[in-house]
Structures are given as C-alpha cells and as structure tokens.
Chains A and B, each alone.
Chain A
Amino acid sequence: DARVTQTPRHKVTEMGQEVTMRCQPILGHNTVFWYRQTMMQGLELLAYFRNRAPLDDSGMPKDRFSAEMPDATLATLKIQPSEPRDSAVYFCASGLVQGPVTGYTFGSGTRLTVV
C-alpha cells in the first residue's frame, strides 16, 4: 500500500532550537496538508499545498513557522525558534484532487516535545 512517510517519528528538543519535520507524500498526489494535534485544540490545519503552491497557511504562526514544498516528493515544516507550547503531534496528509477527491492519506506523525 502507498503511504505518506514522515520523519522523524519523535523529536525532543530544547526551547529556542530549530526543528524541521519532513513529509514524503504519495507519488502522484497533488495536495498536501500539515496538521497539528493536541489534547486541548484537537486537529488544527496549519498549511496546505496544491501542486506545490501554498493555498492557505492562515492557521500557522507566521513568526516562527514556515512550510515549503521544494519538490513534489518533499514537504517540510520548520519551527524556529521552538517553544514548549509547540509540543504536539504534527501530521502530514496527501491526496489527489482532480474532480471528486479520492480521500486523504495521513502519515504516522511526528511527535514533538520542546523542553
């Protein structure tokens, strides 16, 4: 089965450090989402891309977060500087939107702990 690959699976870092999370979408998918999941806020949409172009990143704290798709096989989410409140599980999802969407496939997530 095709899958979305996220790395790293776990990351512990100190406050103030830069964190980069990576996502390899399923080959042929043209849409990529980044979500953050916490107990308090649930699933928050941070950013999403269509054909590598950012469509909406209004959910992302602009001062410290950035999301990019340098090519069709890689999406990155970067936090600089990281803060303890950024501790969460970050999910990437990809899908093919070409008429009716076929559904979105989620990666296993990156569990980030900022101490």
Chain B
Amino acid sequence: AQSVTQLGSHVSVSEGALVLLRCNYSSSVPPYLFWYVQYPNQGLQLLLKYTTGATLVKGINGFEAEFKKSETSFHLTKPSAHMSDAAEYFCAVSAATGFQKLVFGTGTRLLVSP
C-alpha cells in the first residue's frame, strides 16, 4: 500500500523567498510521485511528476522536486516565491506497477506575503 505525509498544513513565505514544501511517502514497491496545485474553486493541476530516470524533476511555474529514495522524500521547491504561487499543494503517490492507485496527502496551503 502507498501513503503520503505532508509536513505542515500551512507554510508562509515572503515574496522572493525560497519555497519548500515537504512530502514523505511510503510504498512497498517502486513509486511514482506527483505534485499537484489547486487554486481556489478549481481542480487540481499537475506541477511535476517522477516516474523513472533523473531524480531531480522540473515542473511548471519554476517548481522542482527531488526524489530521494534513501529518505523516502519528494520535497517541492522554488527558489523565489511569487504572489501567484499562493495555493494548496498536494503530494501524491502511486505504485509503479499493478493497479497504480493514486493516493494523495492532506495538502499544504502556501501563503505568500508581499
């Protein structure tokens, strides 16, 4: 079975500061990992994903994440926050084989202040 833990339900940063959203996963088989963003009253939009290959993955809007198997982590970062980054961010995991059910974490709300 797969599960995801997102540390911190809220993260506050100043505009221009580093964004770091934490995600740890549990999986008994090799995982696929995802980050999604949700703006108010909208659906979820894929930011980036890790399936195989390079462990540092780059996504849209300047975000990137690094898959660290030894730490079972997939933290999301962005060097410089923008006001438009304020949203809810979800980490998700699925197995790389079999049914590949997509399981989400509880989400982290990113607040960006001027």
Closest Cβ of chain B: how far from A91's Cβ, in Å? 6
Q: How large is the interface on B (under 10, 10 to 19, 20 to 34, 35 or more residues)?
A: 20 to 34
**Chain B contacts for A33, CB-based, 8 A:** 102
Q: How far is the CA of A44 from the CA of B44 in the complex (A)?
A: 14
Chain B positions 57-109 with a Cβ under 8 Å from a chain A Cβ? 90, 94, 96, 99-107
- Provide the residues of chain A in CB contact with B99, threshold 8 Å: 48, 50, 55-56
Residues from chain B with a CB closer than 8 A to the CB of A103 are 34, 46, 49
Q: Quick check: is A108 within 8 A (CB to CB) of the other chain?
A: yes
**Residue B43 interfacial (CB < 8 Å):** yes
Chain B minimum-CB-distance residue to A99: B51
Assess whether B102 is in contact with A45, with CB atoms less than 8 Å apart: yes
- Closest residue of chain B to A56 (Cβ to Cβ) is B101
- Report how far A42 CA is from B105 CA in the complex, Å: 8
A101 touches B43 (CB 8 A): no
Looking at the assembled complex, report how far the CB atom of A27 sits from the nearest CB atom of chain B, in whole angstroms.
18
CB of A107 within 8 A of CB of B94, answer no
A8–B4 Cα gap in the complex (Å)?
A: 31
Q: Which of B32, B46, B90, B96 contacts A43 (CB 8 A)?
A: B90
Query: How far apart are B32's CB and chain A's nearest CB, in angstroms?
Result: 6
A61 within 8 A of B: no
B28 interface hit (Cβ, 8 Å): no
Measuring CB to CB, which residues of chain B are less than 8 angstroms from any residue of chain A?
Answer: 32, 34, 36, 42-46, 49, 51-52, 90, 94, 96, 99-107
Q: Give A residues with C-beta under 8 Å from B.
A: 4, 31, 33, 35, 42-43, 45, 48, 50, 55-56, 91, 93, 97, 100-101, 103-109
Q: List 21 A-B contacts (CB under 8 A).
A: A35-B104, A42-B104, A48-B99, A50-B99, A55-B99, A55-B101, A56-B99, A91-B44, A93-B102, A100-B52, A101-B49, A103-B46, A103-B49, A104-B46, A104-B102, A106-B43, A106-B44, A106-B45, A107-B43, A109-B42, A109-B43
